Structure 1
Amino acid sequence: MGTIGRIRPVRAFLMGLLALCAATVTPAFQAAAQGRDLRFIRDTEIENAMRVYLAPIFDAAGLDPASVKIHLIQDDAINAFVAGGMNIFIHTGLLIQADGPDEVIGVLAHEVGHITGGHLARFQENAANAQIKGLAAMILGGAAAIAAGEAGGVQAATMLGSQIGRRSLLSYTRQMERSADQAAMEFLHQAGFTPEGYRDILEKLANRAKLYSANANPYEQTHPVTEDRIAFVENQLANWPTDAPGIPKSFYDLHERVRAKLIGYLAEPERVLEQYPPSQTDLKSRYARAISHMRAYQREDALELANGLIEDFPKDPFFRELKGDIYLNTGQVREAIEPYEEAIEMLPWAALIRINLARALLEMNESQYEEQALDHLTKARRYEPDSSELWRLTAAVQTRLGNSGQAALAQAERAFRSGSRPEAKTYADRAMVELPEGSAGWLRAQDISLQLEKASE
């Protein structure tokens, strides 16, 4: 169990809301805030698609795209949120259930509004103030109850104090949601888009909310009543410039492709075939079926579709990546190398593909591929320095090459970046013993060790 699990209830509530306050439009993230594990997924193509969507929004907001990290969460909810600074978390449910990229972009523009508004930093201060208000009410009410000799009054005062603090805090988060909506309108306007898609996604959420919270108290909700937000966007639309260029057609094609890919990976094979039957031979349908066949270990069916896509779209790196994945996931490691190399030729910055290529090279268990694998991992590190898989593979190849000090340093990096402090300290100290004192590797191991010592004080 992590640190959050040991925090007292009032504090745990505030910590949960710290993440929840930036959620886009739905209370679905509450499950995660209440302790449900989040399952993150990584995919070069989908993450890049989100950056394509966000590029005009970042430009309108004056944000450096490189400073914002994109995270994908496997969850059916229509949701996105910002947390931990410049991090945007996107649920797969949003990408699958949105009817078009305009809906996704509207949500993302709202999240960028949270970032530019500095809402997370301001929320921390208001969370502390709300906690103080609640505790004061609880103490004063409890003291009065004790003086009157009413044991039940103490419990009532405790509940009242918690409610006062919570409502104060939720009121503030509703203000932030309104502010983020206003910022989103400005970003969409500057990008030449319309907020029609954002209105549509809000309407979807409003309809769903009626099913689950017909009697909900609006003052107890993190977000403003959805109908109010829809009315705000409708008012903006009524006065929107009629000459707005709108979202490019290529974005709609990209949305259909991302959606098909996610369904292929996440849905049961029966649902994939129902939604993308063999009679449909367009790109998205073949893509979804190829991925679904791969997941079911139906290698020949998957390869037939992947090869057809490569033949029709020879300059598309992601179909070659898929072919490599099919071979790697079905145990044909040697055959996976060539399509991965072809994908990397087209996308030299695609670190996740490089990591898979390095894995395939190492699984060959032939010494002639070890230096090549290390080279790919070193290049991938520039883009994915926090990847546990990258550091695990680096440790493995350094061990094979007889570089025990570098292997220990790679294990220290893996453990350090994943939060395993005792393990990281053990490996960092071992690396310092085995690496030449004063070398770059030795200095990095010392840095990790000193940071861990300072953190434990």
Structure 2
Amino acid sequence: MTSRTPWAEKRFQALCAVAMVAALSLSISAPASAQDGPSLIRDTEIEEILHRDADPLFEAAGLDSKTVRILLVGDKSLNAFATQGLMMGLNTGLILQTETPNQLKGVIAHEAGHLAGGHPIRSAEMTRAGLRPMILTMGLGVLAALAGAPDAGAVLLGNASYFGTLGALGYSRDQESRADQAAAGFLEATGQSGRGLVEFFDNFRYQEVFDQARRFAYFRSHPLSSQRIETLRSRVERQSHYDAVDSPADLAEHQIMKAKLEGFLNPQVALMKYKESDNSFPARYARAIAYYQMKEPDRALKLIDSLLVDNVDNPYLWELKGQVLFEFNRVEQAEEPQRRSVALKPDAPLLRINLGQTLINQKEPAKVEEGVRELKRALLNDTDNAVTWRLLAQAYDKQGKDGDARLATAEQYFSMGAAQEARVFAMRARELLTKDTPEWRRATDIVLASRPSNQDLKDLAKEGATQSVFRR
């Protein structure tokens, strides 16, 4: 499921607390919608394409590809960034501007050069008075998003003047040059051409003559110059894989990714770009998503069904069909396509959450109970997924399990770093749950980890709760 979370407004203290939460599981949020402003986007299909592009480059850079987080930022501006904690952000605007997979891989390789060189941490500009806290805040905002609180994380990035800070921070020309050279080496080591990175820079060479305020955000933080481009060109043209080309599979995936993003984020543009006369898979995919976004579910479903005729084992088409049906109140009809998507890709928690959400919104108690099981299974990989905890609270409330519902709500707030709300709901859960059960102990843990008041601690001590926790 593609999901898009707008920047919300939450307190700075609550967001910083998220950085202290142990898990860094990713989470989904509200359905995609066309709206202005930056947002964090989650989509299993796009994330897999990005990691297939990026992981070999991360490994060539000496980075553990399993620990590098790629954030897909829903923003039309052309930008990318690397920050503390091995995190890389790619704007959808930048992805849509790349003409080939090799161009996108070139940008990723360049950002990997910054990560491997420690540039986000070592930049001399970070030592300037007043800037270090902003960059630290930005890092915590990304951490908050990864910890299952995209709403909360978004605000911290906003409070850190996300795009402004990136532009103000920037890299030195020396760092840019070193990242260019590192990128060329990573691409060569993975048997890929550096031509794409040079092409990408060439396409925006005119940015060099603009004043700072008129440049794209990427070129404010990554200063571009003709000399820099020519130095890079000289290097990559001498490399043995300069003439390597993108594989047909890579080209197809890149087109699919761009079509999907265009359909979700710019549906009217997608319908003009991918005309009815174009019967290619990416074009029909983009149109189906665009019609869905423009609230024409029947036209969307007709296109999706035509795509499924020749792509019956594509889990993302079944996912999309289920998403359209669910969001247009055809909940029972949504169940079967969502089951198909999970069966085809059982290890994708986002798909399983979709199914769980559909099941708990049905009337039959057996369906609701099955939905609870699916959501719990998704949480095995996404422990701190705030949305999943919210759905579980909804299901438990429907089942009349008040203690479990309040505990799930406490988990939701805890994963978002909202300590006060987490503590309040955890205390309520303790009153309703059986003492010394795993659920009751977990509620006590949340209270103790959520800045309890002196009165809270006294109440726990009277019950012997703290001793019970420490005896485990």
TM-score of the aligned structures, taking structure 2 as reference length? 0.75
Q: Report which stretch shifted further, 227-236 or 369-378.
A: 227-236
Separation of aligned partners in 1, 2:254 and 2:131? 46
- 1:344-369 Cα offsets, whole Å, 9 max, x none, are 10101221121111111122232121
What are the superposed Cα offsets for residues 272-314 of structure 1, whole Å, 9 maximum, x if unpaired?
2221111111101110111111112222211111011111111
Once the two structures are superposed, what CA deviation does each residue of 1:335-393 show, in whole Å capped at 9, x if it has no partner?
A: 11100100110101221121111111122232121111111111211333333221110
Residue 305 of structure 2, aligned match among 288, 307, 316: 307
Q: Which letter maps to 2:69? A: K
1:131 Cα deviation from its structure 2 partner: 2.4
1:103-182 mapped onto 2 (5 Å cutoff):
103-123=103-123, 126-127=124-125, 129-131=127-129, 173-182=172-181
Structure 1 pair 366–83 and aligned structure 2 pair: CA distance change class (3 A): farther
**1:348 matched residue in structure 2:** 346
TM-fit CA distance, 1:323:
1.0
5 Å matches for 1:214-225?
222-225=221-224
Letter of the 2:263 partner, please give it.
G
Structure 2 equivalent of residue 26 of structure 1: none
Residue 409 (structure 1) aligns with: 407
- Aligned equivalent of 2:320: 322
Aligned length: 387
Task: Name the CA distance, whole Å, in 1 between partners of 2:10 and 2:313.
Answer: 45
Read off the aligned partner of 1:54 and give its amino acid letter: A
CA distance in 2, matches of 1:230, 1:407: 58
User: 1:170 Cα shift?
Assistant: 6.0
1:157 corresponds to: none
What is residue 91 of structure 1 aligned with on the other side? 91
Q: Is the 8 A contact 1:192 1:244 kept in 2?
A: no
Q: Structure 1 residues 132 and 326 mapped into 2: Cα distance closer, same or farther (>3 Å)?
A: closer
Q: 1:300 to 1:38 in 2, by over 3 A?
A: closer
In structure 1, the partner of 2:43 is 43
**Alignment partner, residue 199 of structure 1:** 198
What is the CA deviation profile of residues 76-131 of structure 1, one whole-angstrom value per residue up to 9, with x for unaligned ones? 122211234122211111111110111111111122222222233334xx456432
Does the Cα contact within 8 Å between 1:327 and 1:336 map onto a contact in 2?
yes
Q: 1:85, 1:115 within 8 Å by CA — same for their partners in 2?
A: no
Separation in 2, partners of 1:224, 1:389:
39
State yes or no: 1:68 paired with 2:68.
yes
Structure 1: give runs of 5+ residues left out of the alignment: 6-35, 135-165
Note if contact 2:393-2:409 (Cα within 8 Å) is conserved in structure 1. yes
**Which residue does 1:275 correspond to in 2?**
273
Whether the 8 Å contact between 2:236 and 2:242 is mirrored in structure 1 is: no
Gaps of 5+ in 2: 1-8, 14-35, 133-164, 455-472
Distance 2:170 2:86 in 1: 24
Whichever residue aligns with residue 231 of structure 1, its letter is E
**What's the counterpart of residue 238 of structure 1?**
237
SS of equivalent residue, structure 1 residue 419: coil
1:255 maps to which residue? 254
Mapped partners of 1:130, 1:347: distance in 2: 48
Give the structure 1 partner of residue 226 of structure 2: 227
Q: CA deviation at 1:409?
A: 2.0
Residue number in structure 2 paired with 1:391: 389
Report whether the alignment pairs 1:374 with 2:369. Answer: no
The aligned amino acid for 1:249 is P
Change beyond 3 A, Cα 1:442–1:69: farther
Structure with greater proportional helix content: 1
CA distance in 2, matches of 1:121, 1:450: 33
Structure having the higher Rg: 1
- Residue 444 of structure 1 and its aligned partner are, at CA, apart by 2.9
What amino acid maps onto 1:105 in structure 2? Answer: K
| AA in 2 matched with 1:68 | V
Write the letter of the residue equivalent to 1:225: L
Secondary structure, counterpart of 1:88 in structure 2 = strand
Shift of residue 399, structure 1, vs aligned partner: 2.0
SS in 1 for 2:81: strand
Structure 2 counterpart SS, 1:78: coil
Query: Which residue does the alignment assign to 1:363?
Result: 361
Deviation track 1:413-456 (CA, whole Å, cap 9, x = no partner) reads 21122232211111122233333444333333333322221899
Q: In structure 2, what is the equivalent of residue 14 of structure 1?
A: none
How much does 1:252 deviate?
0.8
CA contact (8 A) 1:58 1:65 kept: yes
- Going from structure 1 to structure 2, the CA distance change for 1:222 and 1:255 (only over 3 Å counts) comes to closer
Shift of 1:222: 4.0
Secondary structure (helix, strand or coil) at the match of 1:452 reads coil
Q: 1:404 to 1:102 in 2, by over 3 A?
A: same
Which residue identity does 1:329 align to in structure 2? E
Higher relative contact order (CA 8 A, sep 6+): 2
How many percent identity over aligned positions? 32
The 8 Å contact of residues 174 and 222 in structure 1, kept in 2 or not, is answered as: no
Query: Does the 8 Å contact 2:192/2:242 carry over to 1?
Result: no
CA RMSD of aligned residues (A): 3.0
